[in-house]
A and B are shown apart, each in its own frame.
Chain A
Amino acid sequence: MDELEVLKQHWKKQEQGLPKLSYDDIYKMILKRSSSMVKWIFIISVLEFLLWGSLDVFFRVNGQYDEIKTSGMENYLTISSVVSYGILIYFIIRFYLNYKKIQTTDSAKVLMQNILKTRNTVKLYVWVNLSFLAILFLTTMSYSIFFTDDFQNGDTKEVPVWMIMVTAVIVIIVFIAVIALFYRLVYGILTRRLKKNYDELEQLQM
């Protein structure tokens, strides 16, 4: 007889040995808070939205924008702010709709799919934001170099333009790489098991 059948025969009998919780024990449990992964994903995602969403405010308060304003790029700045808030709102709505779809009563596969989808929404948001920042940085810098008086007047003659450009690009790449690494670590830990289980189910369908 195969091994599982042996176990199956005895499976029912083990019930006598199982713990028995009272009505009160169970009642106390429903008053406690969940520490599920979905809850963590929700908390971390909201924090991310707050962090990235407040970057614009941070730059404003810190006076980073004043410099750009004086260089005559005011319109560009306004447009980019509107676009970045538009992106934020779009992603928050998408995140919320995906989050709402997470139901423990779905099949295991659908549940995992929905959690991963919710997670990916925030991940995509962060990447869009990073690219957006990189573009903003590069365009304002190029503009400063080629069109503003300071640069044209030769204040920076000692340092060649190409060197400024190369340094800036390297700074951006390092910045993005550090954030990417951080994300891989944080989410790697959080969703490793989920991904593994999802892949296992996916594999079955092939």
Chain B
Amino acid sequence: MNKELEHNFVTHLEQNQNIVHKVCRIYTHDIESHNDLFQEITIQLWKAFPKFRGDAKFSTWMYRVALNTAITLYRKSKRSIPTTDFDTVDFKISAEEYDDEEEQQLKLMYAAVKELNDIEKALVFLYLEDKSYRDISETMGITEVNARVKMNRVKTKLKKILNP
């Protein structure tokens, strides 16, 4: 039974791992802590998995646990020594797809997102993942109206960071 559960979980996660990687990218600055956070999210997902009823989509369920881990549970482990910063190797979105200017703009955008606080990052992340305001409000535990208001504030804040 346990083996079956393990297999079931690992298969699900393997298929949906991009969600976790994206959360790690937004919340960490180097590869070492990316892996560290990925590890912690995986453990938390696994701990919560027996209660996963299957009435929600696995991916939807993952968003919540992954973000909760990143915002609330995760504590940087001592072993994460600052290594190569993402900026140098980061987002190797196959270069040929972008002209330089576009790539530059994207890099700036990412840098700006990293300046946001934990809650703002979560909102931006869910927004980029095309989640509805309803989903965002449920994941964060705030009202839909407040999610919209906050999102607008975040947009303004990003604008300010990008055009000081």
Contact = CB atoms under 8 A, between A and B. Distances in A.
A30 B10 contact: yes
Interface in A81-137: 103-112, 115
A13 B18 CA distance: 12
Contacts of A15: 18
A105 B61 contact: yes
Contacts of B46: 30
A107 B14 contact: no
B68 A201 contact: no
Contacts of B88: none
Interface of B: 6, 9-11, 13-14, 17-18, 21-22, 25, 34, 38-40, 42-44, 46-48, 51, 61, 64-65, 67-69, 71-75, 77, 91-94, 97, 102, 105-106, 109-110, 112-113, 117-119, 122, 124, 127-130, 138-143, 146, 149-150, 154-155, 158-159, 162
A37 B72 contact: yes
Nearest to B92: A17
A22 interface: yes
9 contacts: A3-B109, A6-B109, A10-B93, A21-B14, A26-B14, A30-B6, A30-B46, A36-B75, A104-B44
Contacts of B39: 29, 32
